[in-house]
């Protein structure tokens, strides 16, 4: 078979080719390494390529008994997740840098491997590349598109637009077919936003479902690791491997996730949409969302409900700012911030350090009210739906402070405050710019199988997730 036919194939399709010996893992690996070499730098997606590691692990995978759907499948890693060769059973003692997206940390190394990478290694998956991200995971804010060790995350649908953040490289690499899937992380939007902007599927798991051991800590009560792929099924396959309790992560949940491919809700699902959620959305986002509602209504009941007034954005901002100033204390005290790419990021820690313990504790108490509001909604409804973002991808020549809409984001704020899972699905394009838009579905804790099933049903009725950019 032609290796070029691997482009934009699903995990399940590539897995079947390997399992049936129509292609080897080494061939798949070489193919995607070539694509990364050809296109990765064009989208500022690559921090560190791992060709030697990938070639050795793929050769080993071809000699071993097939371990499942991820056996021999290459993938990308957001560059805040640590990786050391010595932990991957290849008799090498090399550790690539983990830069956290920040130029002054370009040589930072951790001599251990994150739990999530160990789980993927056990399943036979092949790490290909450390992918770009917003410096310090956006911990100092989102103000300038070039705030990354690689320069701005470039969107493969339009090279003048941003890929989204902070998982920029994960979004652009999957969307452009440079890797079959990638790991992203989210504190407040960093999986769902690049997924929507780049036209791929991203899954934010319930807080504690995936171990964060070995990943940069931005906010210890908000951070989550999740899969980014071409489809809901791809995300389910990956989450099945990377989830599970880990004693090395104090937030890790003992509630086990097991992907149910043919999951069926007991009855017709009841979905809800917040009234006035479209007020700040662009015309194309509104149209595409309403079209999505029509598709969802073929298999679900959909009601419009009121959103209780509450300062959701202010609460999550207070918590994330306070916790980031603590978790990055050594970075701040070292003076490294003064060397960050974005000028304003160099000084943004100052106001964060001024958040009082009283304000932080008050925000945590208000967080409980937010969780209670969400719980009340999910007593009646199985899921909440909304546009993932109110606009398409932002222009790279603009200051994000002037164009990035973070206000009126109740879904993102409530979801992350309450640790709720959500999935972002491609749901159309803006006609003039040809940029993708996204549909978000959010549900109660540990309802990932429900969300994935909603995504699969939606994607069975539409083909948005099968449309890929022409590489520019």
Say what the pLDDT of residue 1 is.
47
Q: If DSSP states are collapsed to H, E and C, what string results for 191-225? A: CHHHHHHHCCEEEECCCCCECCCCECCCCCCCCEE
| Spans of the chain below 70 pLDDT | 1-4, 401-408, 472
Q: Is 280 exposed, middle or buried (0-12, 13-18, 19+ CB in 10 A)?
A: middle
CB atoms < 10 A from the CB of 91, how many?
Answer: 8
Q: How many whole angstroms from its chain centre is CA 62?
A: 29
Give the C-alpha separation, 326 to 346, whole Å.
16
Structure tokens at 357: 């313990």
pLDDT of residue 59: 97
Q: What's the sign of the alpha-carbon dihedral 206, 212, 216, 220? A: positive
Q: How, if at all, do strands 301-305 and 270-274 pair?
A: parallel
User: What are φ and ψ of residue 126, in 5° steps?
Assistant: -115, 110
d(Cα 301, Cα 268) in Å, to the nearest integer?
Answer: 7
Separation of alpha carbons 471 and 264, rounded Å: 37
> 80-132, pLDDT tens digit by residue?
999 999 999 888 899 999 999 999 999 999 999 999 999 999 999 999 999 99
Beta bridge partner(s), residue 126: 74
For 54-80, how does the pLDDT look when each residue is reduced to its tens digit (9 = 90+)? 999 999 999 999 999 999 999 999 999
- Ramachandran class of 145: left when φ > 0, alpha when ψ lies in -120 to 50, beta otherwise: alpha
Instruction: Map tokens 């911030």 to a residue.
Output: 337
- Superfamily for the 1-472 domain: Amidase signature (AS) domain (3.90.1300.10)
Which residue in the block uniquely carries the two structure tokens 């060709």? Answer: 51
> What is the structure's pLDDT at 472?
56
**In degrees, to the nearest 5, what angle opens at C-alpha 34 toward C-alphas 29 and 37?**
125
Residues 6+ positions from 402 with CB-CB distance below 8 Å: none
The structural domains of the chain, with segments of one domain joined by +, span 1-472
Cα 138 off chain centre by: 14
The b/e string for 314-338 (b: 16+ C-beta within 10 A; e otherwise) is ebbbbbbbbbbbbbbeebbeeebbe
Q: What is the pTM of this model?
A: 0.97
Cα–Cα dist 195/191, whole Å? 6
């Amino acid at each position: 078979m032609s290796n070029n036919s691997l482009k934009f194939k699903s995990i399940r399709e590539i897995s079947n080719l390997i399992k049936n010996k129509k292609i080897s893992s080494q061939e798949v690996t070489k193919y995607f390494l070539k694509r990364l070499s050809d296109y990765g730098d064009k989208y500022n997606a690559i921090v560190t390529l791992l060709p030697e590691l990938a070639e050795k692990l793929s050769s080993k995978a071809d000699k071993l008994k097939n371990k499942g759907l991820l056996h021999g499948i290459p993938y990308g890693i957001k560059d805040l997740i640590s990786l050391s060769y010595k932990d991957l059973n290849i008799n090498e003692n090399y550790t690539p840098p983990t830069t956290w997206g920040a130029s002054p940390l370009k040589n930072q190394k951790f001599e251990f491997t994150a739990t999530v990478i160990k789980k993927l290694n056990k399943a036979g998956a092949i790490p290909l590349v450390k992918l770009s991200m917003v410096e310090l995971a956006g911990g100092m804010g989102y103000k300038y598109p070039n705030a990354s060790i690689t320069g701005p995350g470039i969107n493969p649908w339009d090279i003048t637009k941003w890929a989204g953040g902070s998982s920029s490289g994960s979004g652009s690499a999957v969307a452009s077919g440079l890797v079959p899937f990638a790991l992203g992380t989210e504190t407040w939007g960093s999986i769902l936003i690049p997924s929507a902007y780049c036209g791929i599927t991203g899954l934010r798991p319930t807080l504690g479902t995936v171990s964060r051991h070995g990943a940069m800590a931005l906010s210890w009560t908000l951070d989550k690791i999740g899969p980014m792929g071409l489809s809901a099924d791809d995300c389910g396959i990956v989450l099945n491997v990377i989830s599970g309790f880990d004693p090395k992560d104090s937030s890790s949940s003992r509630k086990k996730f097991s992907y149910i491919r043919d999951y069926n809700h007991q009855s017709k699902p009841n979905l809800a949409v917040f009234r006035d959620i479209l007020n700040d959305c662009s015309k194309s986002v509104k149209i595409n969302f309403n079209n999505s509602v029509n598709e969802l209504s073929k298999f679900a009941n959909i009601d419009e409900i009121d959103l209780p007034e509450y300062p959701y954005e202010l609460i999550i901002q207070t918590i994330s700012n306070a916790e980031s100033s603590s978790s990055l204390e050594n970075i701040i005290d070292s003076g490294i911030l003064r060397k960050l790419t974005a000028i304003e990021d160099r000084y943004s820690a100052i106001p964060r350090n001024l958040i009082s313990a009283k304000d932080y504790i008050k925000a945590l108490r208000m967080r409980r009210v937010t969780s209670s509001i969400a719980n009340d909604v999910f007593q009646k409804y199985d899921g909440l739906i909304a546009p993932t973002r109110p606009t398409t991808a932002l222009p790279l020549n603009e200051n994000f402070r002037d164009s990035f809409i973070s206000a009126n984001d109740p879904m993102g704020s409530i979801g992350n405050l309450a640790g709720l899972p959500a999935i972002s699905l491609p749901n159309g394009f803006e006609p003039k710019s040809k940029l993708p838009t996204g549909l978000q579905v959010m549900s109660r804790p540990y309802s990932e199988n429900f969300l994935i099933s909603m995504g699969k049903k939606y994607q069975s009725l539409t083909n948005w997730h099968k449309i890929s950019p022409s590489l520019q």
